[in-house]
């Protein structure tokens, strides 16, 4: 079997390396490559990506930046539409094409339309569902931008879901959504839409006996609006005895630093770490907190649960289908007051922390282990090619 995995649009192997994600992201493909699958990566990087090819093992690397280079975002996008035309001999060499996310899936869709290639569309989070509730009403200009973005996402997903030979979703909330919005129920039998959680390396992310940082709460993730980090930081304004440790970077970092400085909040910005070091860091804490307002199937939450650490998450789709309140995690609302109350309540109940930590690890072992997810993906590939 020859499989082409197309990266999310504008994402390179170098980007994976610089954000510390390269070990985590390639792990399942290295496992799949041990089977009868010849795997190639199509990335949006340049020749610099080859500096990191030693991480890939037998996986072949094909960076395509030189074919779509442009200072104009729109022109670069247009050039990406013509990749399957320009690289005919490359695309026709594969039995199956799988996308990393919806964003960039047009490359696989066009390859299918041109050459009849089997394609699997993977949606780590439902892009339209996450977008439709974030409308900006402050100006006509922002409203027009929102509508253009919404229309683009709708059309991208419409073609992707309708033309796909298989769909992989990481959240069970997304299945009824795409059936309702894109009318795929008649085209796809249930076995063409597969719920496959993100995988977790449960050998790496495991409980480690080590000293804990007292009254330090850990957040790991991007610093942007969807992660709700502003409300997370504000929650610690009234938690004078607690410290918030943040691992991550993002567009809201300067805004967050200003809030911290103006209000004298105990927040430590720790930057980025390679994913292989994150397990050791998580194990230094009593509590991990994910305050998002939008999620798909958050790997970092599953990694923290796999370390048997008590996790707090907001009561939203993508988190509340993983966490059962006071069973394998603790749920709160997205406002700063609710986040703060959850921290105090869980910190003061060591027995509950221990119980939900243990149950969280059991959940990950049952649903998200690397071995089980690799098996599900491999069997799905075979099924698609047989039909």
Return the CATH number at 141: 3.40.50.2000
Same domain, 50 and 170: yes
Q: Please check whether residues 258 and 154 belong to one and the same domain.
A: no
Total-model pTM: 0.86
Q: Is 210 among the domain residues?
A: no
Judgement on whether residues 110 and 252 belong to the same structural domain of the protein: no
Query: What is the reported pLDDT for 177?
Result: 86
Tens place of pLDDT per residue across the chain (387 aa): 999 999 999 999 999 999 888 999 999 999 999 999 999 999 999 999 999 999 999 999 999 999 999 999 999 999 999 999 999 999 999 999 999 999 999 999 999 999 999 999 999 888 787 776 555 555 777 788 888 888 999 999 999 999 999 999 998 888 888 888 887 765 555 668 899 999 999 999 999 999 999 999 999 999 998 899 999 999 999 898 999 999 999 999 999 999 999 999 999 999 999 988 999 999 999 999 999 998 989 999 999 999 999 999 999 989 999 999 999 999 999 999 999 999 999 999 999 999 999 999 999 999 999 999 999 999 999 999 998
Domain co-membership, 352 together with 382: no
Q: Are both 360 and 376 inside the same structural domain?
A: no
336 and 378 in a single domain? The answer is no
Tell me, yes or no, whether 233 and 194 share the same domain.
no
**The pLDDT of residue 349:** 97
Please tell me the distance from the alpha carbon of residue 370 to that of residue 210, in angstroms, as a whole number. Answer: 25
| Structural domain count of the chain | 2
| Containing structural domain, residue 361 | 216-367
Packing angle, helices 106-115 and 73-81, rounded to 10: 30
């Amino acid at each position: 079997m020859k499989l082409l995995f197309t990266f999310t649009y504008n994402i390179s192997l170098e980007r994976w390396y610089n954000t510390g994600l390269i070990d985590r992201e390639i792990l399942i493909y290295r496992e799949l490559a041990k089977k009868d699958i010849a795997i190639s990566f199509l990335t949006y990087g340049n020749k610099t990506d080859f500096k990191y090819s030693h991480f890939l093992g037998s996986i072949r690397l094909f960076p395509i930046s030189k074919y779509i280079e442009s200072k104009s975002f729109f022109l670069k996008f247009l050039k990406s539409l013509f990749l399957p035309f320009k690289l005919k001999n490359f695309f026709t060499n594969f039995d199956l094409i799988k996308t990393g996310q919806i964003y960039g899936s047009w490359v696989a869709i066009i390859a299918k339309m041109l050459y009849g290639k089997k394609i699997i569309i993977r949606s780590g989070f439902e892009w339209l569902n996450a977008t439709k509730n974030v409308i900006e009403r402050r100006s006509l200009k922002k409203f027009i931008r929102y509508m253009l973005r919404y229309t683009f996402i709708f059309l991208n997903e419409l073609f992707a879901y309708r033309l796909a030979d298989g769909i992989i979703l990481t959240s069970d909330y997304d299945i009824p959504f795409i059936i309702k919005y894109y009318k795929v129920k008649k085209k796809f039998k249930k076995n063409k839409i597969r719920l496959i959680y993100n995988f977790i390396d449960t050998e790496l992310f495991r409980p480690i006996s080590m000293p804990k940082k007292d009254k330090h709460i850990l957040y790991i993730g991007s610093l942007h609006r969807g992660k709700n980090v502003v409300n997370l930081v504000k929650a610690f304004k009234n938690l004078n005895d607690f410290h918030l440790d943040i691992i991550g970077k993002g567009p809201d970092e300067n805004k967050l630093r200003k809030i911290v400085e103006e209000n004298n909040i105990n927040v430590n910005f720790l930057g980025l770490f390679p994913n292989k070091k994150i397990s050791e860091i998580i194990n230094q804490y009593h509590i991990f907190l994910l305050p998002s307002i939008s999620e798909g199937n958050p790997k970092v939450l599953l990694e923290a649960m796999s370390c048997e650490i008590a996790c707090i998450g907001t009561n939203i789709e993508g988190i509340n289908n993983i966490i059962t309140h006071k069973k394998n995690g603790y749920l709160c609302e997205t406002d700063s007051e609710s986040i703060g109350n959850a921290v105090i309540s869980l910190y003061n109940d060591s027995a509950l922390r221990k119980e939900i930590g243990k149950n969280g690890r059991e959940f990950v072992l049952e649903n998200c282990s690397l071995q089980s997810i690799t098996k599900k993906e491999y069997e799905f590939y075979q099924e698609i090619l047989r039909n």
